[in-house]
Structure 1
Amino acid sequence: MDLHQIPTGFSRDLPQALPIDMDYLQQVMLTLLELPSPTGYTDQVVHWTCEELERLAVEYELTRRGAIRANIQGSRRAPDRAIVAHLDTIGAMVSGLKDNGRLVITPIGTWSSRFAEGARVTVYTDQGSRSGTIVPLLASGHAFDTAVDTQPVTWDQVELRLDEQVYSRTDLEMLGLAVGDFVAVDANPRVTPAGFIDSRHLDDKAGVACLLAAVKAVMDSGVVLPVDCHPLFTISEEVGVGASAVLHQDVAEMVAIDTAPQAPGQESIETRVTIGMRDSSGPFDWHLTRKLIALSQVNSIAHVRDVFRFYRCDAAAALEAGNDIRTAIVCFGTDATHGYERTHLHALEGVARLLSAYMQAPPVSSSDQRKLAQREDFNQQPMEEAGEHPDPGPEAATAQTEPYPEAWRNN
């Protein structure tokens, strides 16, 4: 698990993570979850995030479509860094009006209609919003008997039932319903006494809350960062665009925050931080990833490494857009991703603590301030044969059994 030694090239002389205001993190997360933001309908959540950055006294600017580029000034301008989370979520769009008064829908983002069945939703028309429910075409066993158990799981097998007296296409048109109306799925969040959070859209509202909590910790502490840090909030990650057009040109390294799937064949765990080694677009930067692992080790942040085979994040979009930057990903372990998701406050605190340490750490390489480096000051990955297995010592055992001894011992 996390009994590995600090990666080669790093020492224990690394920044200490800052205390995280967990009441703040939880409240921000719950507020964000109540703000609908399917990709393409994100203005409201952008305005709220801008207001929160103002409350934290953090400067920011907006791109044309609403991605947010914030700035925390460090003692040096370059090579600077970015940390990115996305404000958009999965959702749906009206693609047809049916003669029975129901709506045909198509997904926004990649998710199964299995998790859409029974979901409470809000439809945003040009005349205002309407509530409803996504139901299977064969929704009642009293009417269709065992056929309800054998219908396929596809988006062609569901329809949207409005909470209105509509029984024909004409009724829908009279209410202002039209093809292209956005459909937001209600989050229905719940925080349990055991510290679990059950909700839709933890991807990536929980990640945004972690980033804002880490920013708050830095601002409250008054610590001077070694280089400028740019918290970024993107609005189109779920459709693959993400951080393609939001980066400052002098950013040399970027850490994405996202969800890590907990499932058979995966290492991710709901209660721990996950450091991704690669996603479906390819490996993350070796040096930046090992730096995050070293920071986790030094700060006793319980973590695992994982590989994501059917998954991509903001980092992939940034690289595909032609940005020559180092990328890595820090995740909170999540069960049933893109469905009715569940994570744990331990994982969220761990992510925020790790981000607070990363913001205080020096850049991966001083040569990154130049767009082109000389060979003599370019990084090297270790190639030598490993020596004897060292004793991990009591600190490693403590990191595994008591990942947050101060913050959680009495909770």
Structure 2
Amino acid sequence: MYNLDKVKYYLNNILTIPSPTGFTSNLMDYIKEELHILDIYYYTTNKGNVVAKFNGENTDIVRTFSSHIDTLGAMVKEIKSDGRLALSPIGGFMMNSIEGENCTIETIDSKTYSGTIQTIKPSVHIHSDAKDLKRSPENMEVVIDERVTSKEDVAKLGIDVGDFITFDPRAVFTPSGYIKSRHLDDKASTAILLYTLKYIKENNIKLPYTTNFLFSTYEEVGHGASSIPADTTEFIAVDMGAPGTGQNSSEYSVCICAKDSSGPYDLNFRKKLIEICKRENISYKVDIYPNYSSDASAALKSGYDIKTALIGTGVFASHGYERTHIDGIMATLDLIIKYCTEE
């Protein structure tokens, strides 16, 4: 029923366009171009969010789905005397998860340079305490792939404090259905929503209620969906589940969050989603995430009087080199489309 190859196509394209928080315009341009091709109405907010909209037959209830296109990343904090770069993290990740990672520095005038993120003591042959060095921002640096040995050399390249540092996603699609990459949080959901829009449009599906699809730009720093369509009554953040020790989530299912660090999600809303999964034979898991918040959290904290839910495919090793499975992606897609058409 759904075009699996098209979902993968969208996801691969989205993963290859860097979009750390604050540096999302290139990816948003891609999304807007796809919406233009599909001839779907959308508008852009002041802080760069894009909202695509389908008018429904009934306006008593207005549904809004969200995914965030912004990812983890870093900025140049300091140009060191030896020509290396100190970095300032964007978003919450463990420093050891980016050690040895290839990266790109993009200057304010759009020049790009490759580099590698290392600790300040990267060789066990030189530093006896290399293994014990605390992996913290002050102990990490970017080694630029240019012949630079001084601050002045770096300045000549045009690199300066505040330039963005993006991480190589290293996206891999395996024959067994696994997808390994950085930034599956939340680019997997963005691909799902983009395909959902395509599916609804091309199949001329008439939705019972007006439905918005919000692509947000500042979720990783806490205020992505702090502004949403004003008439929203039901808000679903499409993000990720977090499989791991002590968790119920799965890479092969749509994960439905009962509670995260911002508190419980709406019980009746959750019941409705579970009922759809049971009726339509959609693989699902319910879970609780103690160190997690979402676009729905941001919307609630901004004072919106809405019912909220949080769903998404299970993403293993979140905020590191992540992994999910196409089954979880398709289960999430199926639930979204079934809910869109449900009265």
The TM-score, its normalising length taken from structure 1, stands at 0.82
Question: Contact conserved, 1:197 with 1:343, CA < 8 A, in 2?
Answer: yes
CA distance in 1: counterparts of 2:142 and 2:14, whole angstroms:
24
CA distance in 1: counterparts of 2:102 and 2:52, whole angstroms:
34
**How many residues of Structure 1 are paired with residues of Structure 2 in the alignment?**
342
Question: Contact conserved, 1:78 with 1:251, CA < 8 A, in 2?
Answer: no
Please state if 1:136 is matched with 2:123: no
Query: Which is higher, the Rg of structure 1 or of structure 2?
Result: 1
The equivalences for 1:108-119 within 5 A come to: 108-119=90-101
State the shift of 1:70 in Å.
Answer: 0.9
**Deviations 1:263-318 (CA, angstroms, capped at 9, x unpaired):** 10111111111000011001111111111111111111111100010000100000
Q: Amino acid of the residue matched to residue 195 of structure 2?
A: A
**Aligned mate of 1:256, from 237, 255, 262:** 237
CA distance in 2: counterparts of 1:265 and 1:47, whole angstroms:
39
Question: Which portions of structure 1, spanning 4 or more consecutive aligned residues, are displaced by more than 4 angstroms?
Answer: none
Q: 1:356: which partner in 2?
A: 337
CA distance in 2: counterparts of 1:305 and 1:212, whole angstroms:
24
SS class of match (2:313): strand
Q: 1:271: which partner in 2?
A: 252
**Aligned mate of 1:214, from 196, 201, 206:** 196
State the shift of 1:114 in Å.
Answer: 0.6
**Deviations 1:134-162 (CA, angstroms, capped at 9, x unpaired):** 01111112222x42211112111110011
**Deviations 1:329-369 (CA, angstroms, capped at 9, x unpaired):** 1111111101000000000000001000010112xxxxxxx
**Aligned mate of 1:344, from 321, 325, 338:** 325
Please state if 1:291 is matched with 2:268: no
**Aligned mate of 1:75, from 37, 41, 57:** 57
SS class of match (1:254): strand
CA distance in 1: counterparts of 2:313 and 2:139, whole angstroms:
32
SS class of match (2:96): helix
Question: Contact conserved, 2:74 with 2:88, CA < 8 A, in 1?
Answer: yes
Structure 2: 5+ residue stretches without partners = none
Please state if 1:303 is matched with 2:284: yes
State the shift of 1:77 in Å.
Answer: 2.2
Q: 2:182: which partner in 1?
A: 200
Question: Contact conserved, 2:119 with 2:135, CA < 8 A, in 1?
Answer: no
Please state if 1:164 is matched with 2:169: no
**Deviations 1:180-235 (CA, angstroms, capped at 9, x unpaired):** 11111111100001100000000111010111122222222222110110011000
**Deviations 1:57-114 (CA, angstroms, capped at 9, x unpaired):** 2100001121001101211223110000001001001111101110000110100111
CA distance in 2: counterparts of 1:131 and 1:289, whole angstroms:
45
SS class of match (2:233): strand
Q: 1:49: which partner in 2?
A: 31
Question: Contact conserved, 2:83 with 2:150, CA < 8 A, in 1?
Answer: yes
**Aligned mate of 2:299, from 318, 328, 331:** 318
C-alpha RMSD of the superposition: 1.0
The TM-score, its normalising length taken from structure 2, stands at 0.98
Please state if 1:178 is matched with 2:166: no
Q: 2:225: which partner in 1?
A: 243
Q: 2:44: which partner in 1?
A: 62
Q: Percent identity?
A: 37
SS class of match (2:286): strand
